[in-house]
Amino acid sequence: MAIKKTLRMIYHAFPLPYQQKVKLRRHLTQIVTFPQRKISEYLQKRIPQGPQFKPFKKINSLPDVIIFSVIDWTFRTQRPQHIAKALAEQGHRVFYISNNFSNQSHPGLKAEPLSEHLPLYWVRLALEGTPAIYGGEISSQGLKQLIDGLGACLLWAETRQLIAIVQHPFWNELAFALPYCQVIYDCMDHHAGFNETSSLALEKEKQLLKDVHLVVTSSQGLYEEAVLSNPSVALVRNATDYDFFSVKPDIIYTDKKQRKIIGYYGAIAEWFDDSLVNSVAKAFPKHLILLIGKDSAGVKQKLKHNKNIIFTSEVVYEKLPYYLYAFDVCIIPFKVTPLTLATNPVKAYEYLSAGKPVVSVDLPELHEFSNLINLANTEQEFIQQVKNSLEENSAQQIAKRQEFASKQTWSSRVMHLQDELAKIKEPKISVIILTYNNLDLTKSCLNSIEKYTDYKNIEIIIVDNASTDDTPDFLKSNYQFKEGYKIILNTQNLGFSAGNNVGLKAATGDYLVLLNNDTRVTPGWTRTMVNHFRRNAKLGLLGPVTNNIGNEAKIPTQYENPDEMFPEVTEIVLNNMGKLLPIRTVAFFCVMMSREVFEKVGLLDESFGLGFFEDDDYCRRVQQLGYEIFCAEDVFIHHHLSASFNKVKNKVRQKLFEDNKKIYESKWGAWQSHEYR
């Protein structure tokens, strides 16, 4: 490494014209080679005690999925685990982030495979103090620790395409720190209905509903609430593992007294109607009331005087059919509360998978089951429905219930979810690329855009400033009729400001990007930048970090060839997830703004001619309107630096600099020279 640094210093100090130095560099790289750093080296440095195995390599174009869980994987198997497994079965690599943490003061992660055949992984992050997520509160230090740990997870997985599914508002900031990510809120519960949910968590949920790319709800009631905050909402109800629940096990539970069984399984919590169950027990004294589930509401104590009620406490998911097939009638005895009114009970689908008769209190979500479930509005109606169900249970009814359930699978729900993801209407981005000669650099820039921009709603506007090489012919031959591209060929060199203004006038996007042709973009750059705008209403201009520029956006890099930069760039991005650096002036080799800002500020000032100071000027105009300017530390763009200006004679360049500086200072006062970080 010392030899490499020495050669780099000699190269930069060599008194040769620019073009000759480029040729020299090419020859040197053919003679002297150095081993490329690998992501695994970064990970070992970042998390020395990280996972000792590697996840399945990506074999398709599907994005990886991070699930920020509301329950741990080993907790009662419900929607979160089923969704995760079904996504893995569809070909996504799925990383299920535990809601429990390792208590340590430094970033870390543990991981385990959850299947021998599926790309499905359990991940536990380190967080000092291991707070419960339901309070919603996390310190800035704790958030940084989680972000660092999650960055290490993405390094370990070598993830470059990503969807985050958030299942509790605690994870809000962490999910939006992820680069190149679409964030989905899987809203499966009315969180205000849980005793442990804090007011802070509810406030964070309001923000989450507004910010995410898509809200998915499990019930119509939750859907109607969500559409008040976000136009992108999809109803994806719960479902059943039909293949598991439709098969009767060889051995099932039997009552020693040979009584008929009225059964329930699931949580026995504050929404469980113990008074109703007490009445059912008294109405059917010769029957067994079998209640399976963890009692967190003291129900067993309240009902202990009923000799025909048995509590089994929690049982593992795999044992549920052992009990289910012993039930003669399945019940859902919930209190009618805002929480249960918004609930789509998973157990209803599972009960029907076994063909069992079901009696439930009248909940809106159970109306979709047509005549397959018996609903009751009063205690007496409930008891009568149980009586009817005990007496009427024909083979035809069993088949009808199972036929319905067979179509309500988790696999079908995930396919519906994937359809909804494909429909997400992301804001349109217009990327304006100004070209003047340097065809090889233009080709590299456009190739990188095609390779590393997976953002769908985008247009590329290439404005050529009367190039004298083969650039115009190349653009006409390859991009004039290519979908998503616009080619504009100026008849004279209008300079940087006026040339970009041509592109800005032609742009139709919600977000506008000015991108030099001497750049190379990196994976996910557009979505990461847009996500920063989604979360920052006062954000006016946003630029990336880079290897080569004259201000704070320049960061130290080690790669010599941009073809070899991606392991290092991956580390840079994942080490700085979600970070914004306040900056006085962003250099316009790559800058993004919203259409709202552009329409208020206007076009670039064309009095700056060929170039210099037009970006400083524009930044002052943006700040004058009260907007803020940032550098996104989680977006890296390789920059060749001043490829066009390097062909201009030094005396001409110096005069242009001095003349434009006078124009700038006549508008804004003394120019503040740019500084490195």
Query: Per residue in 322-351, pLDDT tens?
Result: 999 999 999 999 999 999 999 999 999 999
Residue 102 has pLDDT above 90, yes or no: yes
Residue 9 has pLDDT above 90, yes or no: no
Q: Which ranges in the chain are annotated with CATH 3.90.550.10?
A: 427-668
Element at 620 (helix H, strand E)? helix 614-624
pLDDT at 518: 95
Closest CA to 349 of 238, 261, 249: 238
CATH number assigned to the domain covering 427-668:
3.90.550.10
Pick the CATH number of 43-235 from 3.40.50.2000, 3.40.630.30, 2.60.40.1080, 2.40.10.120: 3.40.50.2000
pLDDT at 376: 97
Q: Which ranges in the chain are annotated with CATH 3.40.50.2000?
A: 43-235, 242-408
Element at 345 (helix H, strand E)? none
**Residue 533 pLDDT class (50, 70, 90 cuts):** very high
pLDDT at 41: 55
CA pair distance 253, 612, nearest whole angstrom:
82
Output 438 or 17, whichever has higher pLDDT.
438
CA pair distance 548, 568, nearest whole angstrom:
15
pTM above 0.85, yes or no: yes
CA pair distance 550, 616, nearest whole angstrom:
12
CA pair distance 303, 281, nearest whole angstrom:
9
**Residue 49 pLDDT class (50, 70, 90 cuts):** low
Give 59-94 as a 3 state SS string: CCCCCEEEEECCCCCCCCCCHHHHHHHHHHHCCCCE
What is the overall mean pLDDT for the chain? 90
In angstroms, the Cα distances linking 47 to 40, 54, 149, 152, 557 are 10, 14, 8, 7, 21
Q: What is the pLDDT of residues 558-602, one digit of tens each?
A: 998 888 999 999 999 999 999 999 999 999 999 999 999 999 999
Closest CA to 66 of 1, 161, 148: 161
Instruction: Supply 34's token pair.
Output: 């150095």
**Residue 37 pLDDT class (50, 70, 90 cuts):** very low
CA pair distance 315, 265, nearest whole angstrom:
9
Please state the rounded mean pLDDT for residues 193-222.
Answer: 91
Superfamily for domain range 242-408: Glycogen Phosphorylase B; (3.40.50.2000)
